[in-house]
């Protein structure tokens, strides 16, 4: 990215701040807490920006209990820093799943879409579902505006960040710029005139520039920019088609009541490897209306049928998404490097835990059918499903997707947030020469 002068950056950010509306008000006197013992001056006023992970969203829902287990809260605790989150009254809005993918419904009896606190200054300004663009404007898509209003009111994340006069800012954004396409299987617009589900790189870069300018305008002592997660590698809500076929073969040819087409079989009728079985299938197809079966052929439905390619990523689409995520992360890293900020690639940590297994061969942290790709015999395929895929029974994990993944198959569990906070603390220590606890 072309380097711009500090004056130009400030001018651009200031102009954006004016357009975003609202100004710093009477809460200024609340913004000078005692300097933290372990975080030093850097964590006097820590602000975290982002989407669902940063907000503490787990198992398809959010409430005050799980919000206080989110990595920014844990990070602030390590720094002994005052830190406020806009808490949603238990059981939540929406309420979290009570079992994997909501098989037995959600906790509680009704959503509680009200706040349980009202801090004068909000420091965890993350909102579930938001894309990079939504940090700069009031969101417009889906249910995000309702959550944004509940958590932040009418001001943007950027406006809240500036008003908090941060000394340190963390930003984990961009996941939803790729996640919707990954899980939904449609990379382009979902309807006429809509934006692409997979955000174009040029738009992402432009939005990132504006966000970075806004952080520069706020003038923190430091910042941490966190990269975009590649859901194809990290999210168990996406599994190879072979998994669904092999699991269904044990239950009469259906997976959780939905028939699985033979084109998902890892082995063809002629006994040769079936490339369609490597296509990624989203768990969302199991309950999606209008789909009579789980089908691994991207051409199963005719051109023009909205079901064509939905909830399915063929290998070429997987490559496109992966390349786009890599490009997003290159842009984020370049922005951090240009300003002397910290950049963290979460995929490095996720790949580490994705590859770990117990001495008995079971993958306990993340269940992504890791062993299926190299299994060639029926015995090996069966073993691979039991040891590395989401299953119930003796070889499964209590939460189905692995201990680091919550019941929605996408968002980190409480245990994962602890690992994230420890990892981020170590990276911050190395970059800014402070001594946050890392365990």
Classify residue 197: in a domain, yes or no: yes
Number of domains in the chain: 1
Q: How far apart are CA 180 and CA 191, in angstroms?
A: 14
* Per-residue confidence (pLDDT) for residue 35, from 0 to 100: 54
Q: Does residue 359 belong to any structural domain of this protein? A: no
62 in any annotated domain:
yes
360: confidence class by pLDDT, cuts 50, 70, 90? very high
**Residue of higher predicted confidence among 383 and 1:** 383
Q: Is residue 413 included in any domain, yes or no?
A: no
Residue 42 is given by DSSP the state G
pLDDT of residue 398: 83
Q: What is the mean pLDDT of residues 182-207?
A: 93
Q: Is 271 within the bounds of a domain? A: no
Contacts of 392 (CB under 8 A, 6+ apart): 400
Q: What pLDDT does 65 receive?
A: 98
Q: What are the tokens at 401?
A: 């997707």
pLDDT higher than threshold 80 for residue 20: no
Q: Return the CATH number at 173.
A: 3.40.50.1110
Task: Determine contact, residues 286/264, Cβ cutoff 8 Å.
Answer: no
Question: Residue 160 class from Cβ within 10 Å (0-12 exposed, 13-18 middle, 19+ buried)?
Answer: buried
> What are the Cα distances from residue 50, in Å, to 124, 125, 209, 240, 363?
9, 7, 16, 29, 29
Confidence of residue 242 (pLDDT cuts 50, 70, 90): very high
Half-sphere exposure of 134 (CA within 13 A, CB side): 30
- Given a cut of 80, whether residue 260 has pLDDT beyond it is yes
What integer best gives the mean pLDDT of the chain? 92
pLDDT, position 4: 39
| Residue 16 confidence (pLDDT) above 50 | no
Residue 105 tokens, joined = 């419904």
Q: Is residue 115 part of a domain?
A: yes
d(CA 365, CA 394): 16
**With 60 as the cut, is the pLDDT of residue 30 above it?**
no
Assess contact for 216 and 223: CB atoms under 8 A. no
Asked if the model's pLDDT at residue 22 lies above 50, the reply is no
**CB under 8 Å to 112, separation ≥6 — which residues?**
63, 88, 89, 90, 91, 92, 93, 95
Report the chain's C-alpha Rg in angstroms. Answer: 22
Q: Are 153 and 191 in contact (CB under 8 A)?
A: no
Q: What is the pLDDT of residue 394?
A: 86
How would residue 193 be classed by pLDDT, with cut points 50, 70 and 90?
confident
Burial class of residue 356, CB neighbours in 10 A (0-12, 13-18, 19+):
middle
- Render pLDDT for 282-335 as a digit per residue (tens, 0 to 9): 999 999 999 999 999 999 999 999 999 999 999 999 999 999 999 999 999 999
Rounded to whole angstroms, the Cα distance separating 422 from 437 reads 7
Any domain includes 278: no
Secondary-structure breakdown of the chain: helix, strand, coil percentages, each rounded to the nearest 5: 40, 10, 50
Highest mean pLDDT: which of 18-32, 40-54, 133-147? Answer: 40-54
Domain that holds residue 55: 6-234+318-353+425-432
| Global pTM value | 0.90
Q: Does 302 fall in a domain?
A: no
Rounded Cα distance, 384 and 315, in Å: 21
Instruction: State the helix-helix crossing angle for 346-354 and 414-432, rounded to 10 degrees.
Output: 130
Rounded average pLDDT over 226-245: 98
Q: By mean pLDDT, which of 25-29, 205-209, 402-406 is the weakest?
A: 25-29
């Amino acid at each position: 990215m072309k380097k711009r002068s500090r004056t130009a950056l400030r001018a651009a950010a200031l102009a954006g701040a004016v357009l975003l509306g609202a100004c710093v008000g009477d809460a200024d006197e609340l913004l000078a807490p005692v300097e933290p013992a372990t975080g030093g001056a850097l964590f006097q006023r820590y602000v975290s920006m982002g989407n669902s992970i940063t907000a503490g969203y787990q198992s398809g829902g959010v409430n005050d209990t799980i919000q206080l287990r989110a990595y920014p809260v844990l990070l602030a605790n390590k720094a002994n820093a005052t830190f406020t989150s806009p808490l949603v009254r238990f059981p939540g809005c929406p309420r979290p799943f009570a079992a994997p993918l909501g098989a037995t419904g959600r906790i509680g009896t009704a959503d509680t879409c009200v706040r349980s606190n009202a801090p004068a200054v909000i420091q965890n300004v993350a909102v579930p579902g938001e894309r990079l663009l939504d940090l700069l404007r009031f969101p417009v898509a889906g249910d995000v505006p309702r959550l944004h209003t509940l958590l932040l009111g009418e001001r943007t994340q950027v406006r809240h960040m500036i008003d908090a006069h941060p000394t340190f800012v963390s930003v984990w954004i961009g996941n939803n710029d790729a996640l919707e396409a990954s899980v939904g299987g449609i990379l382009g617009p979902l309807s006429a005139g809509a934006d692409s589900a997979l955000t174009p790189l040029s738009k992402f870069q432009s939005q990132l520039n504006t966000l970075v300018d806004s952080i520069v305008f706020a003038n923190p002592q430091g910042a941490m920019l966190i990269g975009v997660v590649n859901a194809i590698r990290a999210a168990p809500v996406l599994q190879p088609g072979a998994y669904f076929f092999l699991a269904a073969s044990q239950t009469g040819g259906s997976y959780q009541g939905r028939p699985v087409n033979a084109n998902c079989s890892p082995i063809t009728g002629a006994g040769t490897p079936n490339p369609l079985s490597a296509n990624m299938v989203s768990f969302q197809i199991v309950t999606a209306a209008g789909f009579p079966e789980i089908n691994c052929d991207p051409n199963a439905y005719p051109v023009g049928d909205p079901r064509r390619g939905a909830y399915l990523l063929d290998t070429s689409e997987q490559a496109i998404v992966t390349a786009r995520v890599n490009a997003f992360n290159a842009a984020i890293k370049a922005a951090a490097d240009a300003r002397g900020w910290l950049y963290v690639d979460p995929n490095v940590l996720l790949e580490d835990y994705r590859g770990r297994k117990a001495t008995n061969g079971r993958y306990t942290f993340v269940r992504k059918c890791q062993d299926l790709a190299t299994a060639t015999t029926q015995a090996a395929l069966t073993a691979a499903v039991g040891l590395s895929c989401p299953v119930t029974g003796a070889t499964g994990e209590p939460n189905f997707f692995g201990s680091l993944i919550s019941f929605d198959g996408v968002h980190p569990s409480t245990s994962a947030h602890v690992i994230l906070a420890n990892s981020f603390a170590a990276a911050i220590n190395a970059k800014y020469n402070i001594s946050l606890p890392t365990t």
